[in-house]
Amino acid sequence: MRSSHRLALAGVAAAALLAAGCSSSGSSGGSSSGTNWSTETSASAGGGMSALVAAAKKEGTLNVIALPPTWANYGNILSAFTAKYGIKINSALPDGSSQQEVNAIKSENGTAKAPDVVDVGQAVALANTSLFAPYEVATWSSIPTAQKESTGLWVEDYGGYMAVGYSSSYGTITSLNDLLGPKFKGAVALNGNPTSANAALNGVMMASLAEGGSVGSISQGVDFFKKLKAAGNFNPVQATGATIKAGTTKVVFNWDYLNLPSYVGVSNWKVFIPQNAVLGGYYAQAINKNAPHPAAARLWEEFLYSQAADGGQNLWLQGGARPVEQQAMQSNGTIDKTAAAKLPAVTGTPVFLSSSQNTNAANYLAANWAKAVS
C-alpha cells in the first residue's frame, strides 16, 4: 500500500477514534432539589408517597418497553396511570421480548429514551440484576418471599398458567391427546420457538407434565410435539391474532391470559388447562439503575403493586392474569371478586419452574427441538 494511502486511512481512522473518544456527558436528568430518587430504595426513605408523586410529576414522562396493550390489560393500566398522575408514557417496542428489553437498557444507556422500567421473564431478570436498582414498594410485605429478590432488584408482578386455547368449532377438548386426532390437521401452534420464547418453552413443558412427566425433564413434551408433527397436526408458524383470525392456527398453546377471546381477537375461542398439568409462570418488574426518570419509575412500581380497586394488581386481574399479591388481597378483601371468579378453573397443584430447571429445559430443547419437529 502506498504511503499516501496509509496516511489517508490513518486519517480516517483517527477521525473515527476521535469521535469515539469524545466523552459523552451522562444524562443529567433527575430533580434539582432534595432527593435523588435514583438511589432511593423505598418511598418512605425518600420522603413519603406525596414527595414521590410530586417528583414524578415534575419529571413528567415515563419510558416503558415491550408492553402490548392487549397483554394482561396493559392498555388500561397505561391509561389509568396517565389519568391518575398526568404523566405521559412513551411505550416503545410493544412486541419486544424480555431479552430485547434488557438490550435496550444497555444500548440506550445515558439517553433520554432508555427504558425506565422493564417487565421481563424470570430467566432474563435473574441474569441481569446488575442493570437494576433495588426498590421496595409500599405493599412489600404482601408479596411472597419466593417471588421477589431480597432487596427488590426484581419483583414478580403477574402470571398465569399455561393453557390450550382453541376454536369452538372443535367442540370441547379435555385432554392433550385429543389433539393427535385427524381433525386437527395443521392446526396446532405454539407462541414462538421454545429455544427462544418463554411462553413456547413453558408450552412444551406443560405438554410434558400432561404426558406424565415432571418439571425436571422436558423430554416427554418434545416427544408429544414429535407425535403431533408426525400426525401432520403441528403448524410451524408463530400463533398470533392474525393467524388465528385467518383460521391458520386453530389451536394455540399460550398463557391463559393470552388465550382470552379479547386478546386473541376472535369471539368463538375456548380455553382449557389439562388436568394435573398446571404450569405457572410469572413475569418480574425491575427498575433501570440509570433510569432517565427515576421518580416516575418508582411511582409506576407503586401503582402496579397497589391493592386499590383501580390499582395495578386488580387491573391485571381484570386482564385474566393472576397478580402476585393475590393471596394477600383475598385475605384482606381488596381483590376484585368478579374478575377473580372469571379465571379458568384448574385441577391440580400449580408448579413453577426453578431457574435450574429452566436452564435444563432450554439446553435440552437447543439440542433436540429442531430434530423433533422437522
Partner 1 sequence: MAVAATTETGARPARAGRRLSAPAWAGTVPFLAYVAVFLLWPTGIVVVDSLKNPNGSWAFANITKLGDPLVRGYFIGSFKLCVLSSVIGAVLGAILAYAIASGNPDGVVRRLYLAGSGVLAQTGGVTLAFAFLVLIGPVGLLFHASWFYSFPWGITVIYAYFQIPLMVLVFLPAIDGVKVQWREASENLGASAWQYWRYVGGPLLMPAFLGGTLLLFANALSAFATIAAWENQIAYIVPQQISTALSSEVGLSNVNVADLLAFGMIILVAIVMTGYALLQRRAARWLR
Partner 2 sequence: MAAVTSVGETPAPAAASRPRGMHASRKRRLNAFRYVVFTLFGLFFLLPMLAMLRFSLEGAKLGTWSGAAWKQIASYQGEGVPPLISSIEITLELAVITSVVTLVLLVPTMIWVRLRVQWLARTMEFLSLLPLTIPAIVLVVGLGPIYNRIQHYSLSSLMLFWIYVILALPYAYRSLSAGLSAIDVPTLSEAARSLGASWFTVMVRVIVPNMRQAILNALLLTCSLVLGEFTIAFLLLYNNLSVELYSISRNTPNAGVIFSTSTAALAFAFVLLLILSYAGRARRGRR
Residues near partner 2 (CB under 8 A) are 19-20, 22, 24-25, 64-65, 68-70, 75, 78-79, 82, 88-95, 100, 104, 106-113, 240-242, 244-247, 262-263, 265-267
Contacts for 124-128: CB closer than 8 Å, 24+ residues apart: 124/98, 124/99, 125/98, 125/154, 125/284, 125/286, 126/154, 126/355, 128/102, 128/286
How many chain residues bind partner 1 (CB under 8 A)?
A: 52
Pick one of partner 1, partner 2, none as the site partner of residue 91 (Cβ within 5 to 8 A by kind).
partner 2
Residue number, 107 or 275, with CB nearest to partner 1 = 107
The cell numbers describing 214, all together, are 415432571
- Our finding on whether 208 is near partner 1 (CB under 8 A) is no
Q: How far is the CB of 216 from partner 2 (least distance, A)?
A: 34
Q: How far is the CB of 114 from partner 2 (least distance, A)?
A: 9
- Our finding on whether 374 is near partner 1 (CB under 8 A) is yes
Residue number, 222 or 296, with CB nearest to partner 1 = 222
Query: Which residues are within 8 A (CB) of 200 and not within 5 positions of it... i.e. 6 or more apart?
Result: 190, 191, 192, 193, 194, 253
Pick one of partner 2, partner 1, none as the site partner of residue 37 (Cβ within 5 to 8 A by kind).
none
Binder of partner 1 out of 76, 243, 327, 357 (CB under 8 A): 243
Inter-axis angle of helices 294-304 and 49-59, nearest 10 = 120
The cell numbers describing 303, all together, are 401503582
Residue number, 123 or 133, with CB nearest to partner 1 = 123
Contact predicate 298/135, CB 8 Å:
yes
- How far, in Å, CA of 209 to CA of 362, rounded? 16
- Our finding on whether 167 is near partner 1 (CB under 8 A) is no
- Our finding on whether 366 is near partner 1 (CB under 8 A) is yes
- How far, in Å, CA of 132 to CA of 129, rounded? 5
- Our finding on whether 230 is near partner 1 (CB under 8 A) is no
List contacts with partner 1 (CB under 8 A): 4-5, 8, 12-13, 15-16, 19-20, 96-100, 103, 120-121, 123-124, 127, 185-186, 190, 192-198, 201, 234-238, 242-243, 246-248, 358-359, 361-363, 365-366, 369-370, 373-374
